[in-house]
Amino acid sequence: MNYTADAPAVWDPAFADADDCLLSSDQCVMHAQQSHVHTRPAGERPYVELEPTDRPLAVEQCTGITPGSVREIAAAVLHFGESEQR
């Protein structure tokens, strides 16, 4: 049996040849930022755990995300979605 999952949406196939990137069944490292993806039952989103570093996303995962960061991410996602519909 094979219990593999698709690569995360943020994974770019170009990362495969990069020295600071790795995608395996239990690790996803992009540009030296390590994360662990914890799978959940079918239909539920996986839990992504970032290594504690001083990078903004890892800090926010540990300390909590600010409303300003939520607005910034939402605006970026909505803007990306609008460009895809054109």
Per-residue pLDDT of 38-68, as tens digits, reads 888 888 888 888 888 888 888 888 899 999 9
Instruction: Report if pTM > 0.75.
Output: no
Q: Which amino acid is at 72?
A: E
pLDDT value at residue 63: 92
Paired tokens of 81: 């979605």
pLDDT of residue 1: 41
**Binning pLDDT at 50, 70 and 90, where does residue 28 land?**
confident
Position 36, amino acid: H
Domain ranges of the chain: 1-51, 52-86
User: What b/e sequence results for 46-70 when a residue is b if at least 16 CB atoms lie within 10 Å of its CB, and e otherwise?
Assistant: eeeebeeeeeeebeebeeeeeeeee
What pLDDT was estimated at residue 2? 47
